[in-house]
Amino acid sequence: MSIDIKAPTFPESVADGTVATWHKQPGEACSADDLIVDIETDKVVLEVVAPADGVIKEIIKNEGDTVLSDEVIALFEEGAAGSAGAAAPAKEAASASSAETTTAGETGDGDKVGPAARKLIEENNLDASQIPATGKGGGITKEDVQNYLKNKPAAPAAAAPAAAAAAAPVNVPAGERTEKRVPMTRLRATIAKRLVEAQQNAAMLTTYNEVNMKPVMDLRSQYKDLFEKTHNGTRLGFMSFFVKAATEALKRFPAVNASIDGNDMVYHGYQDIGVAVSTDRGLMVPVLRDTDSMSLADIESTIRDFGVRGRDGKLGMNDMQGGTFTITNGGVFGSLMSTPILNPPQTAILGMHKIQERPMAVNGEVVVLPMMYLALSYDHRMIDGKEAVQFLVTIKDLLEDPARMLLDI
């Protein structure tokens, strides 16, 4: 029986998507719920799985094609028997024979590498013969490549150009500078567009302050083991304190929790805080809903879930829609100070940074304390400088005396 394979149903905020990767080819055997194609939208990558056991009869939309919501992208033959590894499309064969020959092809293992795995190998200049294969018939799967990348030891900076030179079919003169042109993914292009629009359309300013993290660090050190035991392995981090402090500050300064819609100012009677998560596909901002009613354990476990699903490409549309305020943490990468860019239509974003010990004057004495710079970027069309500064000072005061958050004072 023939079945139409359709693109997912996109929400109203997403007009269309792009076919990113076909994981199965025509004639290749599929089991029910096998991943067959990735559809990339402006916000997330959606997965389409096989509706039953069978084979793909025909691919209607190729990689790179634009698709609409519920549009037919392939025909599927239920119950039909297929080959364990169908031939790749002609365009892939042509690509393999071009100057940018994949490492898999050079090792003679190209026929055992699936399209998704081949793409990852090519993008990361990997040697397919070094990747442990777990697929059927000794084939290399996308998961094999991802696992190899996670466990691969860091190479020196010059390793990538050297590997590319060694793989070239001709002798490359010493000191040759190589370049590789890769088109932007749809998600990366959308991120770039939104960031530029935010700077062009908003009157964006940034105010800074610093916070003594010792009280939070002492509290965390004192209770982290008991916290983890009580909450089924959920670890007590710093982000939950910042989310709680931001929630309280947003209630005191409604303009910071508002958004601009044309000539209207929209004040939200709830706090939905987005937490920026860095993934291989780009920066994503899943949203914590109703943070005022969430406990520290709820916040930590949800953020951890966001991180895991973000790395695995499992974040959905609903996870990232909405949001009244955003927190981004460049400190995990070592940033000491930065200027975060607004996440429209929100009017403010809080930037966390690296905790650094610094000599501070306390009651006339010099004391070494773990300090963090905070940055609040805000839209001056909506928020006055006085409100922005007071908002940031409120967060500072709550973090330097965390008992106030627990006592609601």
Catalytic residues: 380, 384
Angle at 39 between CA 34 and CA 42, to 5 degrees: 150
Place of tokens 């370049």: 179
Beta bridge partners of 2: 77
Q: In 37-96, which residue ranges form alpha helices assigned H by DSSP?
A: 90-96
Q: Apex CA 211: angle with CA 205 and CA 215, to 5°?
A: 155
Which residue(s) pair with 63 in the sheet? none
Residue 1: other Cβ atoms inside 10 A: 9
Determine the Cα–Cα distance for residues 250 and 268; give it in Å rounded to an integer: 10
Buried b (16+ CB within 10 A) or exposed e, 322-332: ebbbbbbbbbe
CB-based burial, 340-379: b 16+ in 10 Å, e otherwise: bbbbebbbbbbbbbbbeeeeeeeeeeeeebbbbbbbbbbb
H helices then E strands: how many in the chain? 12, 19
Query: Strand 348-352 vs strand 325-329: parallel, antiparallel, or unpaired?
Result: parallel
Cis-peptide into 370, omega within 30 deg = no
